[in-house]
Amino acid sequence: MVTAFFHKARKTLRMDFNFLAVAAGFLQGLAVIPGLSRSGSTIFALSLGGMPPSKVLKMSYMMSVPVIFASSLYLWWNNNNFLIDGWPALISSFLVGFLTLGALIRVSEKINFFKFALTFSLLCFLGAFLQFIF
């Protein structure tokens, strides 16, 4: 939601790309705190640099690749059957994620990024509310 309002107010920090990368990496690291979204925090940090929304989304989701790879290695290290038994889940989650990311990028290019970010934040709040009730 903060990302939406920063974008609506056209607030950008126009910071150096290296500093922007460090800020996004730092916020991604904070996502180990329960309830803090990894993608939301990296999208927020990257959007402060004034990049187009499609590039922000691509970079944010590409930042997740090392995290996912490392966590998969950790799971495999602790359970050797993880890759043998879990390959259908790995393949299907990759395909659905890839297709969803493509759709999100296309949507972000067609609508105002404020509306895009606000809609997704409200959907997150709705999901949390429904989870709390049920």
Question: What's the pLDDT band for 76 if we cut at 50, 70, 90?
Answer: confident
Tokens of 8: 């609506």
pTM of the prediction? 0.73
How confident is the model over 101-121, as pLDDT tens digits?
A: 889 888 888 888 888 888 888
Neighbours of 41 (CB within 10 A): 22
pLDDT tens by residue, 22-72: 989 999 889 888 888 888 888 888 888 878 888 888 898 888 888 888 877
Please give the residue that has the higher pLDDT: either 63 or 84: 63
Q: Where are the alpha helices (DSSP H) in the chain?
A: 2-8, 17-29, 38-47, 53-78, 82-110, 113-133
Please state the separation of Cα 63 from the chain's center in Å: 8
Ramachandran bin of 10, using left for φ above 0, alpha for ψ from -120 to 50, beta for the remaining angles = left
Please report, for the chain, the start and end positions of each structural domain, with discontinuous segments joined by +. 2-133
